Structure 1
């Protein structure tokens, strides 16, 4: 997959089948668009492409906005690459761009710069200054500018439309299985293993403390069953998100105990995939009660069917 950050530098012998949007989470609703894009690109001998924004427009419009996303940029690139997209356009949402009307965006960006011949948008997508661009405008312009446009309906899960917002809500309420069903894969987190307080090793449950990438959404505080991936090797793990209240901790940490693993992971990159919620964060009366709960969590993790 080619990654293009400067649209002026893009040149291709083939026109594009394109879709646009944030594609945060790259969930099952997005995959329906991607599958259609790839199909159209093959049938019409076009190249497939996604035009998205990085950083998030809200962050550009208000640098103090603490916007959290389902994907880091690297995760989004990996997911779109695996889905077969040939071109990923990463556009900065700068002052000039944000002031383009829907029609100007269509004429100047989609047609003049990118040579789009087939455009696919989601059921609720708008674009351009004051959301002046929509499916109806694209239909009006398509004949004059010689491109085709289609709008895909939503993908439903449990009688509701799948959306990035609904997935964020599921994670915030620890409905991990529901979030994963809407995503179409297990929600994951990758980060470097950093030094912590090293309390876990003193009670028989050493943990790897994961440095969470800036802007990445974490599920609700609590304990989780996770897959752990180290150098393409799979391990079962039990992960905790919280402040370690039993030992009067204050700083939020994300720590994973890896079953049947013994080694030094400091400064290595680790990936965890969330599979099931175990329980809320608990403040125990002492370490003995904490160890009893960890023993129970370990048993459930060992029994879990990955």
Structure 2
């Protein structure tokens, strides 16, 4: 997997099949998105692209409570690499980026830099200033910019929708087993022991 941190120096991405998100923890719901990404790219002879942000948007947007992260960037990237992703693009998330309207985000960011063939999103993907952009807007603008959109519905485990938030809650309640079940792999902590 190639990791790109300079959007101006991206290689040409042939028939880009992309997804966008923070993918904290890369849980079972995220894994399903990655599987769909890889399958779709293989079917059209395309390239898989994961667009992610650093720092986490909740650490930048005023009024949002910062959160504890489930994985380090390096851990997340290793999991995505094992999932078969071709390109990972890390976008610096700052207040200026957060101020883009949803329409500008699509036209001046996604279309300009990635020229997507297909965009795959989770059921709850929101973007743009005030989180006003969603699947419907992506689909509408796809007609203008010639890309298709696929939405992955909520992944359900024991009738509970999997999300990074639910995993954080399980961990704060000391339920590492439940967190690991949602993640699809054993939860671990990285750090220096002194």
| TM-score category (smaller protein) | over 0.9
Mapped contact 1:51–1:88 kept (Cα < 8 A): yes
Structure number with larger C-alpha Rg = 1
Q: Which residue of 1 aligns with 2:23?
A: 23
Unaligned runs of 5+ in 1: 195-306
Q: Secondary structure at the match of 2:190?
A: strand
Q: Which residue of 2 aligns with 1:224?
A: none
Mapped contact 1:15–1:114 kept (Cα < 8 A): no
**Alpha-carbon distance in 1 for matches of 2:153, 2:162:** 11
Q: 1:229-244, aligned counterparts within 5 Å?
A: none
**Alpha-carbon distance in 2 for matches of 1:171, 1:13:** 38
Unaligned runs of 5+ in 2: none
Please, what TM-score do these two structures have when normalized by structure 2?
Answer: 0.94
- Asked whether 1:8 is paired with 2:8, we answer yes
Q: 1:252-267, aligned counterparts within 5 Å?
A: none
Q: What's the RMSD between the two structures over aligned residues?
A: 1.5
Q: 1:135-154, aligned counterparts within 5 Å?
A: 135-154=135-154
Q: Which residue of 2 aligns with 1:38?
A: 38
Task: Judging by fraction of residues, say which structure has more strand.
Answer: 1
Q: Which residue of 2 aligns with 1:285?
A: none
**Alpha-carbon distance in 2 for matches of 1:20, 1:13:** 15
Q: Count the aligned residue pairs.
A: 193
The alpha-carbon deviation at position 66 of structure 1 amounts to 4.9
Mapped contact 1:118–1:148 kept (Cα < 8 A): yes
- Asked which structure has the greater RCO (Cα within 8 Å, sep 6+), the reply is 2
Please, what TM-score do these two structures have when normalized by structure 1?
Answer: 0.61
Task: Judging by fraction of residues, say which structure has more helix.
Answer: 2
Q: Secondary structure at the match of 2:192?
A: strand
- Asked whether 1:174 is paired with 2:177, we answer no
The alpha-carbon deviation at position 67 of structure 1 amounts to 2.7
> Runs ≥4 in structure 1, deviation > 4 angstroms?
none
The alpha-carbon deviation at position 96 of structure 1 amounts to 2.5
- How far does the alpha carbon of each residue in 1:149-190 deviate from its partner, in whole angstroms, 9 at most, with x for none? 011101111111011111111111111211111100000112
**Alpha-carbon distance in 2 for matches of 1:146, 1:190:** 43
Q: 1:1-306, aligned counterparts within 5 Å?
A: 1-61=1-61, 66-194=66-194
Q: Secondary structure at the match of 2:75?
A: helix
**Alpha-carbon distance in 2 for matches of 1:80, 1:176:** 22
